[in-house]
Structure 1
Amino acid sequence: MKILLKQGLVHDVELGEIKVQDLLMEDGKIKKIADTINDAETVVYDVKGKHVYPGMVEAHCHMGLHEAAIQFEGNDTNESSDPIMPHVRGIDGINPMDEAIQDARAAGITTVCAGPGSADVIGGTFCAYKTYGNCIDEMLIKDPVAMKCAFGENPKRVFQEKGIKTRMNVAALLRKTLLEAKQYAQKKDAAYDMKLAAMQAVIEKQIPLKIHAHRADDICTAIRIAKEFDVKATLDHCTEGHLIVDQVVKSGFPAICGPSMSARSKYELKHKSFETAGILAEQGVLVAITTDSPVIPQEYLPYCAALCMKHGMREADALRAITINPAKIIALDDRIGSLKEGKDGDVVVCDGSIFDLQTHVLYTFINGELVYEKKRA
C-alpha cells in the first residue's frame, strides 16, 4: 500500500530544519519526500499545518520485560541467580502483549531497545524492536544490540549475601569475565562455555557493553575497563556525567541520559539533573534520552526531552536525542531515526510540537502501516 502525507511540516532532525513537504511511503519504506508529490494510486492524508516527525527511538528501557499493571508474574527484568549472566537474552523475556507497548506507539515511539536490568554485574543482551505486532520475533529488528553490565549500588545490594561487598569486586568480576572471554577466543579447542561464548560479540566489537553507571567514579571505572579491554561501550544513565564532562568527552562513548523525571530514590542519584543531557550534548557527546521504562512510562519520552530543554538543552539537540541519536547508538540509523528516502516508514503526525504537553499524536505509522489513529471527539 502507498500512503501519501500531504503538505505537512516535515522535520529534518539531522539538519534541524522544518519544511512544508509531501511524504510518500511504499512497501514499508519512505519512498519520496518533495515539495509536491502526485500519485493517483495512494491513500492520501491531508496533514497541512501538522507536524511530521520520524518515529521516536528509545535506546534503553525494559518495556515488555517489566510489564505494566502486574507484579512478579510479569517482571522478567533481572535474572539475579548469579552476578554473571551474559548468556541471558532480553528477547526471551519480552511480552509483546504488554499494554505499555500500545501506549508507546500511541505516543509516537516506534522503536525501543530493551533488555535486562541492572541487578547483575553482567546481565545479558538487549534487542531492538518495533512497537507493533503480536510476536516479538516479527517485531524484532536487531538482536543482540548490546551486552548489559552494571556498576554501583545495584549489584552490591542484590548480591550482598553472595559475596559482592564492594565496588572493587564488581569491577573485578567484570574484568575477570572479559579476560576469560579473550582467552576463550584464543583457545580453539576449548570446551564450549555458554557464558564466554556470549561475550565474544563484545570482545570482537560487534556490540558494545551497555554500562549502567550513575556516580562519577562509576562512570570513570566503566571508561577505564572498556579502554583496558578495548571494547565498545555506552554510558547508560550517566547521571553525574555533567560533573566529569571532560572525561566523558575524551572517552568518545555515547551517553544515554536519564531517567530524570523521578525521585532521587538512592544515594547515587543525589546529583540527578535535567541539565546533564544538554551539557554533554553542548560538548559534542552523542546523547540520547531514556525513560528507563517502566521507571518513567515510555510514552513520556518527549516530555523528558522537553524538561531537558527547560533546563538548557537546545531544541534541536533534544529532538535528536529521541530520534536519530539513539538510532545511531544502537547502530540502526540506516533504517530509523530520521525522515529520509529509503528508511523505514516510521512516521508520526502531531497537531503541535512533540514537546508540548497539549499536543496530540494524530497518526503513527510503522513500516509504512497505520498503527495508531487518534479517535475523533
Structure 2
Amino acid sequence: MLFLKNAEIHTMVGETIENGQILIENGKIKAIGKEVKCPEGAEVIECEGGFVMPGLIDAHSHLGMWENAMGFEGSDGNEACDPVTPHLRAIDGMNPKDEFFREALEAGVTTVASGPGSANVIGGQYAIVKTHGDRIDDMIINESFAMKCAFGENPKRVYNAQKKSPSTRMATAAILRENLAKAKEYAAKKDRANGDLEKMPAFDMKMEALERVIRKEIPLKSHAHRSDDILTSLRIAKEFDVDITLDHCTEGHLIVDYLKEGYQKGIIVGPTMSSRSKIELKNLTFDTPGILSNAGIKIAIMTDHPVIPQEYLMVCVALAARAGMKEEDALKAVTINAAEIIGIGDRVGSLEEGKDGDIVVYTGHPFDLRSQVKNVIIDGKVVK
C-alpha cells in the first residue's frame, strides 16, 4: 500500500482537495479525500507544499519509435515504401529501453499514445502504453486503439520523391477512400459467409486491420495541419461512417464554427513549440488550443515526440495557458481530456477511486519552470 498525505490534490474532475490524502492499494486508488486514514505498514509520501495531479498523458507521440541519439538504426516509425500499411503495429517497433522513456517518466508523463509517423496515407496501428517497464507487453493499455492516416504535405513529399502515387492531395484522399471501400467489402463478405470457411474471402492482413475501422472498433487517427486537409478527413469519415480523431489541427482556429458543428470527438493539438518548418505550418500559433477550448471543444495537447521531446509536454501546456487557454482546461488537456479522447478515461486521467494509481507530485505549480517533479507513481509503484 502507498499513502500520500498533506497533499494539494488536483483531481481533474472536481474541486481541489486541500490537505488531502490518497491511499493506493494493488495499483489502484482505493480512497481519496481529507479524512483518509493511513493503514499500518503503508509506505508514506509527504506532499506538503506540493502540487499533486494525475500522471500526464500524451495523446499523440512517437515515443520509442525514433530512438535517442540514433539515425536509421533506431528509426522505426515510417515504412515509407508503400503508402498503405494498416497491418503494421507500433508495439512491434517500440523500444522501452530507449532513454526517452526514462526522461518522459521523470517529467511526470506516465501514459503515451505512440505509433507510426505520417509518411504513408495509412501508416498503421497506434498503441497506448505506460512509460515504465522493461518489456512493452507489460506496459500496454491498448495495443491497437487507432489507425493512423495522414493528409497534406508528408505523403505527397515522400512518394513524389519515389515518383509514385500519391503526389497530390487528390491521390491521398483517393487512396484512403479506395482502401476503406475494400475493407467495407471485405467485412461484408465475412458477414455473408457467417463462419463458413468455404465462403470466406481470401485472408488479407491489411483488410483485417482496416475492418476494425469499418466496424467502428477503432477510429482513424488523422494527421492534418491545414484547414482544408482537416475538412477532407472529416468528409471521408462521414462518407464511410467511421470514427476519427483530429490530430495536429494546426489551423483549427480558422474553422472553429465548422468543427463545433460537425465534430464532437475532441481534438489533439500540437506540436506547437516548434518552428514553422513547412508551408502547412505557416499559421502555427499557441492561440489554437485556447480558441478551440474556449469555444467548447474538448482539447488535448501533444508533443508529437520527438518533434518536441516528450519531457516538455507540461511546458507546451503552460505556453497554451499563457496564450489564453484557461488553466483548468490546459491541465485537463494532458490528463482527463487526453484520456477520454483516446478512450482510456475509465482507467487514467483523473484521481478517483478505482482508477490506476498514476500520480505526479510537483514541488510547486507545474506551470512554474522552477518547479520540479518530486515523485512519479505508476500503477501504485513509486518509480521516481
TM-score between both structures, scaled by the size of structure 1: 0.97
SS at structure 1 position matched to 2:79: coil
| Structure-to-structure mapping, 1:31-180, within 5 angstroms | 31-38=30-37, 39-160=39-160, 161-180=163-182
Shift of 1:18: 4.3
Deviation digits for residues 232-288 of structure 1 (CA, Å, limit 9, x no counterpart): 100000000000001112222321000010100000000001011111111121110
What SS does the corresponding residue of 1:82 show, helix, strand or coil? coil
- State the one-letter code of the partner of 1:92: D
1:204 to 215, 239, 245: 215
* Preserved contact between residue 8 and residue 16 of structure 2 (Cα < 8 Å): no
When structure 1 is superposed on structure 2, of 41-50 and 343-352 the one drifting more is: 41-50
* Residue of structure 2 aligned with 1:226, choices 232, 237, 241: 237
> 1:43-93: CA deviations, max 9, x gaps?
111111211110000000001011111111101010111000000101100
16-25 vs 311-320, greater mean Cα deviation: 16-25
Distance 1:356 1:67 in 2: 29
| Counterparts of 1:203 and 1:7, CA distance in 2 | 49
Question: Percent of pairs identical after alignment?
Answer: 53
Residues 68-77 or 115-124, more deviating: 68-77
Give secondary structure in 2 for the equivalent of 1:260. Answer: coil
What is the match of residue 204 of structure 2? Answer: 193
Question: Which amino acid is the alignment partner of residue 17 of structure 1?
Answer: T
Q: Does residue 1:4 correspond to 2:15, yes or no?
A: no
Residue 41 of structure 1: how far off its partner (Å): 2.2
CA distance in 1, matches of 2:23, 2:65: 35
**Residue identity opposite 2:165 in structure 1:** G
> Number of residue pairs matched?
371
Match for 1:332: what amino acid? I
Q: Which residue of 1 aligns with 2:246?
A: 235
Task: Confirm or deny: 8 A CA contact 1:56 1:337 kept in the other structure.
Answer: yes
Mapped partners of 1:245, 1:20: distance in 2:
40
Question: 2: CA distance between counterparts of 1:349 and 1:165?
Answer: 48
- What is aligned with 1:271? 283
Amino acid at match of 1:336: V
Q: How far did residue 16 of structure 1 move? A: 5.3
Q: Distance in 2 between matches of 1:159 and 1:112?
A: 29
Q: How does 1:275-354 map to 2 (within 5 A)?
A: 275-354=287-366
Look up the match of 2:22: 23
SS in 2 for 1:162: coil
After TM superposition, the structure 1 = structure 2 runs for residues 247-262 of structure 1, keeping only pairs within 5 Å, are 247-250=258-261, 251-262=263-274
Q: Comparing 16-25 with 186-195, which one deviates more in the overlay?
A: 16-25
CA RMSD for the aligned pairs? 0.9
Alpha-carbon displacement from aligned partner over 1:19-46 (angstroms, at most 9, x marks no partner): 3200011100111002132221211111
Hey, what does 1:362 align to over in structure 2? 374
The CA distance in 2 between the partners of 1:276 and 1:4, in whole Å, is 39
Deviation at 1:12, TM superposition (A): 1.9
Other structure's SS at 1:159 match: helix
Assess if the C-alpha contact under 8 Å between 1:16 and 1:316 holds in 2: no
Structure 2 match to 1:375: none
Q: Secondary structure at 2:345's aligned position in 1?
A: coil
Q: CA deviation at 1:357?
A: 0.8
Does the aligned pair in 2 maintain the 1:106–1:361 contact within 8 Å?
A: yes
TM superposition shift of 1:98: 0.5
Which residue does the alignment assign to 2:193? none
Match of 2:197 in 1: none
Uncovered stretches (5+) of structure 2, i.e. residues with no partner: 191-199
Partners of 2:111 and 2:29 lie apart in 1 by 16
For residues 276-328 of structure 1, the C-alpha deviation after alignment (integer angstroms, 9 at most, x for no partner) is 11111111211100000000010100110100011100000000001011100
Q: Distance in 1 between matches of 2:95 and 2:70?
A: 12
| 1:342-366 per-position Cα deviation (integer Å, ceiling 9, x unaligned) | 0000011111011211110000000
How far apart in 2 are the matches of 1:278 and 1:121? 29
> Which amino acid is 1:331 matched to?
G
Give the stretch that moved more between structures: 325-334 or 263-272.
Answer: 325-334
Partners of 2:270 and 2:89 in 1: how far apart?
A: 23
How far apart, CA to CA, are the structure 1 residues paired with 2:295 and 2:145?
26
User: Which ranges in structure 1 are unaligned for 5 or more consecutive residues?
Assistant: 373-377
Which amino acid in structure 2 is aligned with residue 3 of structure 1? Answer: L
Give the aligned residue type for 1:193: D
Q: For residues 352 and 79 of structure 1, what CA distance do their matches in structure 2 show?
A: 43
Deviations 1:119-148 (A, max 9, x none): 000000000000000100011111211000
